[in-house]
Amino acid sequence: MLKLANREIYPIVSFYLLEGFQMREKVQAALGKVRATLRQDGGDVVLVDVSAEGVVTVRLTGACKGCPMSDATVKNGIERFLKSEVPGVTAVVAV
């Protein structure tokens, strides 16, 4: 359980934790829509993190891992789609 000394801060922290959780859920749902296309080529995408600044970190797997076109897939495909589907997404990076 999160313990805070200042009770005035608790509602603010709670709001951001909840908002972050909701954004992560929205990103996960949007990635589910992208996943079918990647799987057609033998690849997949895994959500690693969503930062408070809206930066989504993903890991490409399968045929997408190490593919010379993976940077284009992340920026022109996944990032563009997530920005259109999930308000607050600012960038997508692959690890």
- The domain in which residue 56 lies consists of 10-94
Q: State the CATH number of the domain containing residue 14.
A: 3.30.300.130
HSE of 72, CA atoms in CB hemisphere, 13 A: 3
Is residue 74 a part of any domain in this protein? yes
Residue 8 has pLDDT above 70, yes or no: no
Q: Could you tell me if 52 and 20 are in contact, meaning their C-beta atoms sit under 8 angstroms apart?
A: yes
Is residue 3 a part of any domain in this protein? no
Is residue 4 a part of any domain in this protein? no
**For residue range 39-60, what is the model confidence (pLDDT) as tens digits?**
999 999 999 999 988 999 999 9
Domain count, the chain: 1
- Say what the pLDDT of residue 7 is: 57
Query: To the nearest whole percent, how much of the chain has pLDDT over 70?
Result: 79
Which pair of structure tokens corresponds to residue 93? 């990076």
The pTM of the full predicted model, rounded to 2 decimals, is 0.79
Is residue 84 a part of any domain in this protein? yes
Q: Could you tell me if 85 and 26 are in contact, meaning their C-beta atoms sit under 8 angstroms apart?
A: yes
